[in-house]
Structure 1
Amino acid sequence: MINRPLSRLLALTAALVATLAVLVAAGPPPTAAATRPPRVFRDLAYAPAQPPGGRGHLLDLYLPAESVTSPRPLLIVMGGSGWLADDGKGYAPALVPYFTSHGFVVAGVSTRSSLQATFPAQVDDVQAAVRWLRANAGRYEFDPDRIAVLGDSSGGWTALMAGFTGTGVRAVVDLYAPIDFGQMDAHMLPGACPSLNQVFHLDACHASALSPESSLLGCPILTCPTRVAAANPIGRLTPAAPPVLIIHGTEDGLVPLHQSDLLFDALAAAAVPTTYYTVPGVGHNRDIVAPSHARATVRHVGAPLTPDAPHPTYEAIESFLRAAFTRPAAPCAPRGVCAGS
């Protein structure tokens, strides 16, 4: 028999995943589409299934329709779910039409949910996925030295972890990722915490024992500051980190804008090339990557890699990635996933 706390957590998981599916619905139609559909390779296992029957070890690959002899850049995409689902690769199809038609291979990557394994399992997973992809780059026609990662919300957190742990990733695109779990509640928009508590039956917003962040760490976040610190991507940041593009809306009711401010300040302190788009009037939604919003505010660390765009569109992301690929690659960490690839 399932005990009451676990039963409640499972119910919360279902509710949160369902709500996030609405909040982060697929982005707008791309401005350019391929004349022929991409070649698709689904459910490739980059590691053994843990637990058996899970999906957190799978990835999908989308190759442009036309085969070429010159390897293409690779964009790894991971969707967010508050770490409560193992199907992050499902975000990739929203980006595939634009990026494959512009010469990228796209990989949708899933990692384990917090119900299947707690932190740092998700970091281990994304490192294993990058290692597998680098080892199979020739087979799937992409360049192992031109890999970027993109994710939204918890997927953005995973993308940052991939970029900051010596995997050889050359650029990171972070859409409204949580950074310092311990500072989230103090900076929530007015009324956001009571709404979160009511919808998901929490008692203390992100500090609740059943919040996504507490579930990820396996402890209420206020009781385990050492684990909170270990899960903060900033703690893994060095000046050798790849360029980062941050996109966050001012009306985000789940992950406060302050979280991206913290990340930007840390990147500035480390002198890591960064572009930070703050989009007015937009909440926790993948529709943030669209030209229909009010003009964004843009800040930089270092000289801009590309001219500022009025909105963080797919075109702006592509321009940032291509500019990042021209920069010298940092060496992989001594025990990072590049070793032996």
Structure 2
Amino acid sequence: MTAPAHEAPLPAAVAGADGVRVLHGVPYASQPGVRPLELDLYLPPGTSAPPPVVVFLHGGGWRVGSRHSAGPAFRAAVPSPFERVAASGVAVASIDYRLSGEAHWPAQRDDAEAAVRWLRTRAGELGVDGARIAAWGESAGGQLAAILGLTGDRIATVVAWYPPTDLVALPGDAGADPAAPDSREAQLLGAPVSAVPDLAADASPVSHVHAGAPPFLLLHGRHDRLIPCRQSERLRDALTRTGAPVTLETYDGADHMWLGAPDAAGWALDRTIDHLARHLS
């Protein structure tokens, strides 16, 4: 009987920028009727001790996107954002997860949790520290990173770029119709937000805030028209009320995906690297 794809031997690493080693297309989960879910693992240059690892979750409104991109601002970046983070000493596991055309919520959360379990199970083979795992995401991936940090097992810290954090309130914040059947949130949930408020709340990081939450760094464009900055403010306020550590930083003039502010993407990546180094060292 053939072993599941996620139990297969690891592929050989290839050379990336700045001494980073990359394992491409590694299956981390497989289940009947579903394609094997894969990640790309970026390993720091040789170190004396296993490095910590951050799970990256891509954006795309839960509808599109892939593990290969940290957003359009980095499309031509050399080294890539993942190589930059790995070169700083933190391994990056950039994962694919089921999109809303494949499965509805909570499949996306299940996939993120499966990736963390896989990293811990195979940490010795991978050469990473399975006890030091962080979550980082942009847009829809920021929502997943926040959910992972608030509901997952032993996530050390979370970085979320312009995340939707309160799906129940998002239509109002964005001036949209909560009964729209074709919104990104409705496609994620399988029904309009107004028709499934309990499910929308379950997919909202603000619903899962607790006093033991890990440190959060929220980065948001002040002029984001797709996911208004109010969404990050809601999560910051909820975390602050419980005494959980949280920092929200905004960038004036930046729209969603850091559009409209040429320096915002670089600023966000620098802040991310600094935060991960501080909380994973």
Q: Give the TM interval when normalised to the shorter protein.
A: 0.7 to 0.9
Q: How far is 1:101 from its partner?
A: 1.6
Q: How far is 1:90 from its partner?
A: 3.5
Distance 1:265 1:287, change over 3 A: same
**The structure with more radius of gyration:** 1
1:173-188 correspondence to structure 2 within 5 Å: 173-188=159-174
Q: How far is 1:121 from its partner?
A: 0.7
Distance 1:250 1:269, change over 3 A: same
2:20 is the counterpart of 1:59: no
Q: How far is 1:68 from its partner?
A: 2.9
1:285 maps to which of 252, 257, 263? 257
Distance 1:313 1:205, change over 3 A: same
Number of the residue aligned with 1:79: 58
Q: How many residues are paired up?
A: 258
2:145 is the counterpart of 1:159: yes
CA distance in 2, matches of 1:165, 1:241: 9
Give secondary structure in 2 for the equivalent of 1:46: strand
CA distance in 2, matches of 1:49, 1:85: 21
Give secondary structure in 2 for the equivalent of 1:156: helix
CA distance in 2, matches of 1:263, 1:288: 24
1:1-341 correspondence to structure 2 within 5 Å: 34-36=17-19, 38-48=20-30, 51-52=33-34, 54=35, 57-64=37-44, 66-85=45-64, 87-91=66-70, 94-188=80-174, 205=177, 207-286=179-258, 292=263, 312-325=267-280
CA distance in 1, matches of 2:259, 2:58: 13
Indicate conservation of the 8 Å contact 1:91/1:108, yes or no.
no
| RMSD, aligned CA | 2.4
Give secondary structure in 2 for the equivalent of 1:48: strand
Q: How far is 1:286 from its partner?
A: 4.5
Q: Kindly provide the amino acid, as one letter, of the partner of residue 276 in structure 2.
A: L
Indicate conservation of the 8 Å contact 2:239/2:246, yes or no.
yes
Indicate conservation of the 8 Å contact 2:254/2:261, yes or no.
no
Output one character per residue of 1:281-314: Cα deviation in whole Å (capped at 9) or x when no partner.
Answer: 0011156997x35xxxxxxxxxxxxxxxxx8443
Give secondary structure in 1 for the equivalent of 2:118: helix
Output one character per residue of 1:175-197: Cα deviation in whole Å (capped at 9) or x when no partner.
Answer: 11111122223222xxxx5xxxx
Indicate conservation of the 8 Å contact 1:251/1:280, yes or no.
yes
Give secondary structure in 1 for the equivalent of 2:155: coil
Distance 1:51 1:156, change over 3 A: farther
Distance 1:40 1:88, change over 3 A: closer
Q: Kindly provide the amino acid, as one letter, of the partner of residue 46 in structure 1.
A: Y
Unaligned runs of 5+ in 1: 1-32, 194-203, 294-310, 327-341
Indicate conservation of the 8 Å contact 1:155/1:177, yes or no.
yes
Q: Kindly provide the amino acid, as one letter, of the partner of residue 155 in structure 1.
A: G
* TM-score for both structures, normalised by structure 1: 0.70
Indicate conservation of the 8 Å contact 1:81/1:88, yes or no.
no
Give secondary structure in 2 for the equivalent of 1:144: coil
Indicate conservation of the 8 Å contact 1:152/1:175, yes or no.
yes
Output one character per residue of 1:72-130: Cα deviation in whole Å (capped at 9) or x when no partner.
Answer: 12121111111113624533983123112211211111110111110011111100100
Q: Kindly provide the amino acid, as one letter, of the partner of residue 177 in structure 1.
A: P
Give secondary structure in 2 for the equivalent of 1:256: coil
Distance 1:97 1:325, change over 3 A: closer
Indicate conservation of the 8 Å contact 1:79/1:90, yes or no.
yes
